[in-house]
Amino acid sequence: MNVFLFLTFAGIAVACAVNLLVQRHPISSAISLIGVMGSLAVLYLLLGAEFIAAIQVIVYAGAIMVLFVFVIMLLNAGEEERTRRSKLARVLGFPLFAALLSQIVWVVYRPFASGPGVEFGGFVGSTEALGRALFRDYVVPFEVTSVLILVAIVGAVVLARKEIE
């Protein structure tokens, strides 16, 4: 059952990711990205990380992508136009892509090559444990990150504000 669910949702994630690139309308691409996020959440759930799965949906699919869709709707962006692709990209594109992909696979696979690998439900860490880790053991990095984000927001407001004469 777990394997079946994993294959289904991994397949959906990849299909949505490919669809994201193929679609020409920004809204279609954005919705495909939501599909990717949703399937990833299911994969987290299969690993037993239910809190991360819920946060994945709430933050990425629910909040960030809503802003994306919002902006696309506000700007009323139309369909993209396809330019004729450059010759260099046509020749080198696929080999470079394959090289990058194999590198990623190698880096991700290396830690698991000798060990038992990942198991379904193998993630140990309840919501409580995560909270403890975040707000006790790693509280300084956590707070520094939040200040960083705050600075980014203030910066965006300053940049976007019109000068009042």
Partner 1 sequence: MSFWLLSVIKALVVLAVLLFTLIYIQWVERKVIARIQRRFGPHRVGAHGLLQPLADVLKLLTKEDLTPPHANRFFFVLAPFLSVALALISIAVIPFGGEIEIFGIRTTAQLTDVNIGLLFIFAVTSLGVYGIALGGWASNNKYALLGALRSSAQMISYELSLSLGVVGALLLAGSLSLRHIVDQQAGYYFGFLPRWNVFQGPWPQLLGFLVYLTAAFAETNRVPFDLPEAETELVAGFHTEYSSMKFAMFFMAEYANMITVSCLATVLFLGGWHPPLPQAWGLQYAPAPVLGLVAAMLLYHAGGAPAGKQRLSMQIFGALVGLAGLAFLWAPVRQLFSPLFWFAAKSGFFLFLYIWVRGTLPRFRYDQLMNFGWKYLFPIGICNVLATGLMVALWG
In this chain, which stretch among 23-31, 110-118, 146-154, 155-163 interacts with partner 1, using CB under 8 A?
A: 23-31
Which is closer to partner 1, CB of 94 or CB of 135?
135
Distance, in Å, from the CA atom of 72 to the CA atom of 22, rounded to the nearest integer, reads 18
Classified as helix, coil or strand, 16 is helix
Q: H-helix or E-strand containing 9?
A: helix 2-22
In this chain, which stretch among 66-74, 87-95, 143-151, 152-160 interacts with partner 1, using CB under 8 A?
A: 66-74
CB of 41 to partner 1, least distance (A): 8
In this chain, which stretch among 59-67, 85-93, 101-109, 113-121 interacts with partner 1, using CB under 8 A?
A: 59-67
Q: Is 33 left (phi over 0), alpha (psi -120 to 50) or beta?
A: alpha
Q: Which of 13, 34, 36, 42 binds partner 1 (CB under 8 A)?
A: 34
DSSP-assigned letter for residue 122? -
Q: Are 12 and 31 in contact (CB under 8 A)?
A: no
Q: What residue ranges bind partner 1 (CB under 8 A)?
A: 25, 27, 31, 34, 50-51, 53-55, 57-58, 61-63, 66-67, 69-70, 73-74, 126-127
